[in-house]
Amino acid sequence: MIKIDSDNAAIEKNIRLMEKRIEEYGGYLDPDLYITCENGEMSVEKHGFINPTKPLIALPTDLLLPAEAMKMSVKNDEMFMNPDKGTLTDIQTEMAETMLDLYNLTTKIKNHKASCCWFTYQEAPEALEDLMSARAMNDNQNKFMKFTRGESDLDRDQFLCETYVKTRTIGYKNPDSEDDDAPQTKIMPIVDFINHHATGANFGFAKGFDNTQKDKEFLQIKDSRPLTNSNECFAYYNQMDTLDAFINYGFPDTSTNFVRSVPVEFSLPDGTVIAARGLMGANKKGKLNKTLAGLRPYIPPTIINTEERLEVSYFIIPCDAQTQHALRRVLRLFISNRAARKLNTNQIWAEVLKAEEIIVSTNVKFYQDLIMKCDQNLAKAPNASWEMTKMVARMQLEKLFKYHYEESHFTGEASTNAGAETEEFAAAE
């Protein structure tokens, strides 16, 4: 039995119910799990040693809750659901009601309204628009920005519900399904309580946890406690820098060691353009050549690939000593693959350094200019929105100033590895 320390008996009762159901359905909760809740703030800890042979939590996928089918709504800062008859199983209905009770008992909607940028910037939407220009906005973000500007027809409570639910779900597709549908968005009982950290544990779906049902699939998360002198367990929600976390989850994450580049492009001598949009995207999948060791988080998905233009989702600018050459290595992969027959090794290296300088200096200038604009607006009158934009911009800029420009990493390996990396990256594009 897990341990629960809550200042609200109703919260403990709901967690106990979910614990019981998860175990009844073949799931697993580490007995040393320790869930705390104080003033609505919930966290997950583990006391004792890490057990590498077992997950922290194994949640049966039939207990994942289909967010769309629940038909959730918000009224007076509380969440409700009204699913169509038969769309949820009996156990899903019980677990969904329990999760909504917990959301309401911990005032999740009220807290979301106080932290979500689409709400907090309504008095100064320009401050958010300027910050968001560091990204190529997707359809949802464009829709949300209209709400912030007061140009949306969306009901306020409906908008609160939609934006909150997006922060609490994971995409899941049944591996046994023959349909080619997109993954469904699912709410994760108990797993939902684990906070994000840049070095937290990944979520993973896998079969085989239950020896009596080899084909039964579970959402599993391992024990990760990255903070010194703390037993709190953390999950890795997504690859997010400070700005990404602020936009998507309402907090500027200080645990990251990189900056996702603002939209940027550069040209090669033959006129080929290589560009990055500044989007979040999935990491490169599949096996990587040994020459690409450690580069998986930095290889971006390709959006456009023509003879004249290569456009990718993002460039990652690393800001710590352990990954200091990752951007340079990725740039060399791109440029070598595009220009190996037109440029020699030294010329390719020169283009890599030029591209690196363009990317980093473009980002530095963007955030310096943004801070200057914030100061100009704050000189007119105090404003919480411009203060927040300035804070996020300064956090990004502080990381950029840690970027390493040493060339030693490539001095001896440029000629020996260029061919291997070029061949490998042809598949990556």
Residue range 12-21: mean pLDDT, rounded:
98
Assess whether pLDDT exceeds 70 at residue 110.
Answer: yes
Q: Confirm if 301 and 288 have CB atoms less than 8 A apart.
A: no
For residues 191 and 189, what is the distance between their CA atoms, to the nearest angstrom?
Answer: 6
Tell me the CB-side half-sphere exposure of residue 113, using CA atoms within 13 A: 15
In tens, the pLDDT along 316-333 reads 999 987 788 899 999 999
8 A C-beta contact, residue 159 and residue 147: yes
Q: List 266's β-bridge partners, or say none.
A: 274
Indicate the pLDDT class of residue 183, thresholds 50, 70 and 90. Answer: confident
The pLDDT tens digits for 49-96 are: 988 889 999 999 999 999 999 999 999 999 999 999 999 999 999 999
Q: Where are the domains of the chain?
A: 1-64+188-237, 65-184, 258-428
How high is the mean pLDDT of the chain? 90
Taking the C-alpha atoms of residue 84 and residue 81, their distance in angstroms, rounded to an integer, is 10
Type of residue found at 395: M
Mean pLDDT of 246-251: 95
Q: How confident is the model at residue 178 (pLDDT cuts 50, 70, 90)?
A: low
Whether the pLDDT of residue 127 is over 90: the answer is yes
pLDDT average, residue stretch 409-427:
45
Q: What is the mean pLDDT of residues 291-295?
A: 78
The predicted structure's pLDDT at residue 215 = 84
- Is residue 416's pLDDT more than 60? no
Higher pLDDT, 363 or 255: 363
Reported pTM? 0.88
- Burial class of residue 393 (count of CB atoms within 10 Å of its CB; 0-12, 13-18, 19+): buried
Per DSSP bridges, beta strands 195-207 and 234-236 are parallel
Residue 314's pLDDT is what? Answer: 95
Going by pLDDT thresholds of 50, 70 and 90, the confidence category of residue 139 is: very high
